[in-house]
Amino acid sequence: MKKLLILIGAAVLLFGCTGPMGPQGPKGPQGEGSQTFTLTYKLASADWVKNTDAAGNFIGWWHEIQMPELSTYVYEYGMYNVYLWDGNIQVPLPVIVYNETDNTWWEKKISCDFAVGSVAVYYQENDFMNEGYRPEDMTFRIHLVW
């Protein structure tokens, strides 16, 4: 009985939708579509700012990128991403890179956060001890979709 029901169901599905196509329906209203904006931002080494915690301890570097295109509407309803870009490859943030120096492994992390009108990028090393090292020049691509 079960096999018979499956066979009847398969026959209805296979042959139930045959026939000529009906006429085209009326044209609907134009949709809003989507808009995009991409900013390529070159951050010089000298522009990184020391970042400290509430006690004044060094925790890394940061830089705020002013971006009026990141409006309240885009912030609340859009999508946004930041990429580390070298001209050929873009890597989405956050990115963690592992390095080895004198048989000691350490990591650096590049991350970001968003606010209406700006994007902040952060550079941290896992030991938080390298206050004298300023991050190198970096290029970021910020992509907005709304």
Specify the pTM.
0.74
Q: Is the pLDDT of residue 81 over 90?
A: yes
- If you write DSSP's letter for every residue of 74-130 in order, what string do you get? HHHHSEEEEEEE-SS-EEESSEEEEEEETTEEEEEEEEEEEETTEEEEEEEETT---
CB 118 within 8 A of CB 67: yes
- Predicted confidence (pLDDT) per residue in 136-145, tens digit: 999 999 999 9
Under DSSP, the state recorded for 47 is G
Q: In this structure, what token pair is assigned to residue 44?
A: 């010089």
User: Does the pLDDT value for residue 111 go beyond 90?
Assistant: yes
CB-based contact 37:123 (threshold 8 Å): no
